[in-house]
Amino acid sequence: MCGIVGYTGKKSAAPILLNGLRRLEYRGYDSAGLALSTEAGIRVEKSEGKVAKLAEILGDYEETPGLGDALTGIAHTRWATHGPPTTINAHPHGACPPGGGEAPRVVLVHNGIIENYKTLKVLLEGEGRTLASETDTEVLAHLVDSYYEGDLQQAMTKALAKVTGTFGIVCMAKDEPGVLLVARRGSPIVIGLGEDETLVASDAAAILRHTRQVVYLDDNDIARIEGAEVEIRSLDTGPVTRHPTEIDWSDDAAEKGGYAHYMLKEIFEQPDAIWNTIRGRMDADRGNAVLSGLNLNPRDLADLRRVLVVGCGTSLHAGLVGEYAIEDFAGLPAEVEQAAEFRYRNPIVGARDLVLSISQSGETADTLAAVREAVDKGALVAGLVNVVGSTIARETGRGIYLHAGPEISVASTKAFTSQVSCLLMIALKFARAARMSRERGMQFVREIEAIPELVRSVLATNDAIAKVAERYAKAEHAFYLGRGYMYPVALEGALKLKEISYIHAEAFHAAELKHGSIALLTEEIPVVAIAPEGPGKEKTLSNVAECRARGSKVVLVATEGDEEVDGYGDDVLWIPECPLHTAVIPATVALQLFAYHVARVRGCSIDQPRNLAKSVTVE
């Protein structure tokens, strides 16, 4: 959940580290720090709060002796887990032998959780070591230092053999200037290969300004880095080879591009992001989808018993759309399960089941655990991810990349609509291998290819949606209603509102509202109802009438030109006419804009909501 940056090479490390931390601010954090290898030893600076405060503390580092010419360093942004967000709990954490003075001999930054840190802490304190913070990471630093005898790689290897938990670590030692030790188990680490330099990060966004050639570490990899030299070993088996990957988006793609917030930029990028997802994957003549990454031929598809979709949060909501589409069009049983539950409830899966794991980052801890459980049980497993080279992409060995480009805002927008577009293509491919005719397949292709233009139509109503949002910005609670394909839209719409505006929003299947929750409705609680043209609309409007009878204001999402909705809504967000399975996307975009403008009027931190991180890499 935190951000890591490391550098060793021939340039001043401090500005590279600070810029890398700024690139990782979107992940969410509450403290920041860095450590530089100087001639006088390791210099550590850290603070609670934002990276800007850390930069203030550093001051004019280029004019400070020993800082401007430091060529190796590590940096970190932290979300508090063990201990509150204070300077003393911030990373990096250092350690030295008992009686060795205050200057650290070993310093490291760490993402993840050391589960047995309390036991290790007792042992270390028994050796006379004093630990100042409340963190599990400082325990790890002291553990490495306790084994240090001049060889950092050897010390790290011995220390990690004692550790239970997850980690992405970058470590350096006073006596080995220019050397970084990097290790990974369950928390992503990427190594950027430059000319006469190497960068390390928890997210490629931090290093794209310097290189697009990267190497992703696998679990239990440990790498020794010095300048441009990278040597990777497995903690289990010895030397290994990890092949470089080229990142397919540029540093400029992670800029705001004149928009007030990354979220707004990414909402408006959706027509292009969706087109990038479907481009080259539609066979109009055969009425089919070309998804070679799934590595499933028609015979394999015909042999499938069912599809299990696992994900968390927004990805889970996309999965629900996929469930409906796969069952409706392919006649293939499909289920969606929260990824954390999948692992712990001993699911029944077998060789004829396809487990489809959905994760924007490809690093979501619960989803990755579900992947490994499914693999262990002999199921076919495929990933649907946005990040090339991510852990889920590598461990599944089959799947589909979204190609939606970087998503910087914590609240996911274009990843969701690209995921749904991808799931519709999967439904088409499965359907053509089952009962769908070529003619219907050709029509389905046209429906999918029309999605970017449907989204552009909604984006053109941005100003009108903003005016509607202003009228509801003072609400403290909201209900979202939908049924069928619009139920996942209601879930995602409510999630967006609470993520960025901090309004308590709940989504219900429209039929479930009257089974208890309607008792909560008052004039102060607005209802957002998704009721485009199609089956279920009349039932949803009936539920809306029940809400209005109790004094609630209603915002409708409806199809342009639908006169039947007159009188049901106090305000309407219009979407273009299209089939229900594709209407999911324009309806969601309308609710993304609604949530954005509510949060804007409320003055909220839209791109970095409190307590949230972009990639949840701990369970």
Catalytic residue numbers, as ranges? 2, 614
DSSP for 353-421, please give it: EEEEEEESSS--HHHHHHHHHHHHTT-EEEEEESSTT-HHHHHH--EEE-------SSS-SHHHHHHHH
In whole angstroms, give the CA distance from residue 294 to residue 301.
10
What is the Cα–Cα distance from 336 to 320, expressed in whole angstroms?
6
Is 311 within 8 Å of 359 (Cβ atoms)? yes
Residues counted in the chain: 619
**Rg from Cα positions in the chain:** 26
Spatial separation of the C-alpha atoms in residues 199 and 207, rounded to whole Å:
7
Q: At what angle do helices 314-325 and 580-602 cross, to 10 degrees?
A: 160
- Alpha-carbon span 478 to 287, nearest angstrom: 42
* Per-residue tokens: 185: 């188990």
Count the alpha carbons within 13 Å of 265 in the hemisphere toward its beta carbon.
Answer: 19
Position 146, amino acid: S
Non-local CB neighbours of 336 within 8 Å, separated by 6+ positions: 308, 309, 310, 311, 316, 319, 320, 322, 323
448: helix, strand or coil: helix
CB count in 10 Å sphere of residue 348:
8
Cβ atoms of 525 and 551 closer than 8 Å: no
